[in-house]
Structure 1
Amino acid sequence: MELKYGGDSVNKKAKKAVIIGGTAAGISAVAAVTAYATTKTLIKIALDRKEPEILKKIQARISGKKENDFIKALNEAGKRLSEKPSETIRIVSHDGKTLVGHWIPQKNAKRVLIAMHGWRSTWSGDFGIASDAWEENGCSVLYAEQRGQDKSEGNYMGFGITERFDCLDWIAWVRERCGTDIPIYLFGVSMGATTVLMASCLPLPENVHGIIADCGFTSPHEIWKYVVNHNLHLGFRIRGRIAEKMFMNMLHAGSDKYSTLDALKSSKVPVLFIHGSDDRFVPVEMTYRNYKACVSPKKLLIVPGADHGMSYYISKDEYEKSITDFWNMYDNLSMPISKV
């Protein structure tokens, strides 16, 4: 005998519940598999040395930028910088990786810049647009190729988590080449900015006089979350957990266990923060948070209307003035000049 309730039998209701529950479980399983597959692809795009083919199709969506006059100017300036006479430098990092840099010295240099480029970029591509101004202002420049990119060794990019320690290795090379008195500044753009900010709390030598960080993000976890949510319009809750496990397996570090905010709470050197107000790749709010967290002397330049990495292009005069003022404030010009 079947018990009746509201016109349906209990058995029928139970069958429906089983069907609905099974369907929901099936949907959840499919969603989990899909999330894993998309996350694996995104992690390859984010970390792998080898650029996945799919990146070409979705790069504009990831960065929020399309081909425009700025990109053309950046490419032309990068080509000019790559063609300038330079000395190729090779060092062995603290963990045994061969890192490559490009040294362009100036006679009677006032200071040395160590320039760290961004994610899936190049030393000449990121800094060509500003390199002439640096040379005119008496800067010898060591353009580093970040690990996992270009000719530097490493299977993966670390979004600053692993690269921060490379700054110490490059500083040691500069001190050996130029002496221990000339002012050194760490200069980074995008992921390079995050790299130098994460290095701000490391045991930097006394002749490291400052850091200049242009459009840096706070941590791998936070920039991935922003890009996945805002630029790719995907959910991040499940993908974030999957990405964290993959990051840990690849780099033996947590993507959310360390940030620029942690480093800047112990920073001992002056920092100049720069960011464009209309950045669609790294939100300007991340630089505001970095600035607030920084306990050392600090300056802030926000360029109205500038998208990611475009601040120099949009407001060249203001950008150069902010940097030269920063140098003039912290160079200590009574120090001996460089040997090269």
Structure 2
Amino acid sequence: MKILLRITLLLITLILLIGLTLASFYFYDLSVARTSKDFLKGDTSLDFKQSVPAVTPRKTWLDEIGYEDIEITSFDNLKLRGYYLKANKPTNKTAIIVHGYFSKAKEMSQYARFYYETLGYNVLMADNRCHGESEGDYIGFGWHDRKDYLQWIDYIIANINPKAEIILHGVSMGGATVLMTGGETLPDNVKAIISDCAYTSVKAELSYQMKKMYNLPSFPLVNTTSLLTKIKAGYFFGEASAIKQVAKSNIPTLFIHGDKDTFVPYEMVYELYEACSSEKDIFIVPNATHATAYREDKDGYEKKVSDFLNKYVK
């Protein structure tokens, strides 16, 4: 009887382990691998219907003004594509604009237009690894991307302008990316960071999404998927932490978030703000959902960003 019980328990354990392993591979393919993210289109917290038409004319604007295709090779030998817009008048001011999850550089044209036309900046937009025209089989969620943006910063200084005054502006995953980058040792050329609707950490965001999408606790699936991500992509979810990086940063940082954001919880912006060790400011946009703060209050957004940057970029 005891032997039968042991065998039964062993079989149940084995079945659970197999199921958990299969679920981990599924969740990895769903969230980390370079696969279609159709599940996002069914998320009511994301406003695709309004955002897609707004992007189209701005792509046309980008093509009309012209840009230079540039490329770097990442630390792990991926070719990463960037698009550089030289300001109409000579200036050292340069904005690096970072897109979000399953987006691409050219979809950030509304922000590029603001920096280029209104503020007179040079602009660099890059396709993150595993996005757009850049290579890569897995999404870095900002963690490996932070190393890529260190290289983009170095590229500007070495190949375009050694006196460049650089600001980093990211939205959603891009917002987390610029915060993670800010926690690294940066050249004096980097003057400020603008982070719009960033998450505190990859683990916290995926745990939140696990509950929101599937009504499941984060343990054990987020943990096992994190282990699989370490094996396949080289990082744990827990180490990909914007909140730990802002605690090390000395770069002035403006945090932006919409108070109706339920994709990256609105409360995360306060956690990031409190953890940030550098000079900082915060801008909350009423009624803005995820990544819609600029559209919801364009004038207020532009004024806040302009006023903030004027303190640090001359």
Q: Would the TM-score normalized by the shorter structure come out above 0.5? A: yes
Partner of 2:28: 43
The CA deviation at 1:259 is 1.0
* Equivalent position to 1:150, from 124, 132, 135: 132
C-alpha offsets along residues 111-144 of structure 1, whole Å, 9 cap, x if unaligned? 101111111101111x122222211211110101
Aligned-partner residue type, residue 95 of structure 1: D
For residues 152 and 70 of structure 1, the distance between their equivalents in structure 2, rounded to whole angstroms, comes to: 23
Q: For the pair shown, which has the larger CA radius of gyration, 1 or 2?
A: 1
Of all paired residues, the percent bearing the same amino acid is 30
CA distance in 2, matches of 1:245, 1:63: 30
Deviation, 1:102, is: 0.2
Aligned to 1:102: 83
Number of the residue aligned with 2:209: 227
Return closer, same or farther for 1:278/1:26 CA change in 2, 3 Å cut-off: farther
Cα pair 2:92 2:163 within 8 Å, conserved? no
Q: Residue in 1 aligned with 2:256?
A: 274
What amino acid does structure 2 have at the position aligned with 1:241?
Answer: N
Distance change in 2, residues 1:248/1:135 (3 Å) = same
Gapped regions of structure 1 (runs ≥ 5): 1-13, 334-340
Q: Distance in 2 between matches of 1:282 and 1:83?
A: 34
Maintained 8 Å contact 1:35/1:239:
yes
Structure-1 residue corresponding to 2:170: 188
The alignment partner of 2:208 has SS state of helix
Counterpart amino acid of 2:198?
A: G
Deviation of 1:219 (Å): 1.6
Mapped partners of 2:82, 2:28: distance in 1: 26
Pick from 320, 324, 336 the counterpart of residue 306 of structure 2.
Answer: 324
Moved more, 30-39 or 108-117: 30-39
Q: Which moved more, 1:228-237 or 1:145-154?
A: 228-237
**Counterparts of 1:1-340 in structure 2 under 5 Å?**
22=8, 32-49=17-34, 51-52=35-36, 55-56=37-38, 58-61=39-42, 64-82=45-63, 84-106=65-87, 107-109=89-91, 111-125=93-107, 127-136=108-117, 137-331=119-313, 333=314
Report the Cα offset of residue 83 of structure 1. Answer: 5.3
For residue 110 of structure 1, report the CA deviation from its aligned partner: 5.1
Moved more, 225-234 or 299-308: 225-234
Q: Is the 8 A contact 2:97 2:112 kept in 1?
A: no
Structure 2 residue matching 1:68: 3-state secondary structure: helix
Is residue 141–residue 177 contact of structure 2 (8 Å, CA) maintained in 1? yes
Using the TM superposition, give the Cα deviation of residue 305 of structure 1 relative to its aligned residue in structure 2, in angstroms. 0.9
CA distance in 1, matches of 2:216, 2:138: 24
Which amino acid is the alignment partner of residue 71 of structure 1? V
Letter in 2 for 1:296: S
Deviation at 1:77, TM superposition (A): 2.8
Please, which moves more after superposition, 61-70 or 279-288?
Answer: 61-70
- How many aligned residue pairs are there? 310
Contact 2:171 / 2:197 at 8 angstroms: preserved in 1? Answer: yes
- Letter matched to residue 46 of structure 1: S
Residue identity in the other structure for 1:47: V
Q: TM-score, normalised by structure 1?
A: 0.84
Cα root mean square deviation, aligned: 2.3
Structure 2 CA distance, aligned partners of 1:95 and 1:234?
34
Task: Please tell me whether the aligned partners of residues 164 and 198 of structure 1 are also in contact (alpha carbons under 8 angstroms).
Answer: yes
**TM superposition score normalised by structure 2:** 0.90
CA offset at residue 27 of structure 1? 6.8
Q: Which moved more, 1:33-42 or 1:203-212?
A: 33-42
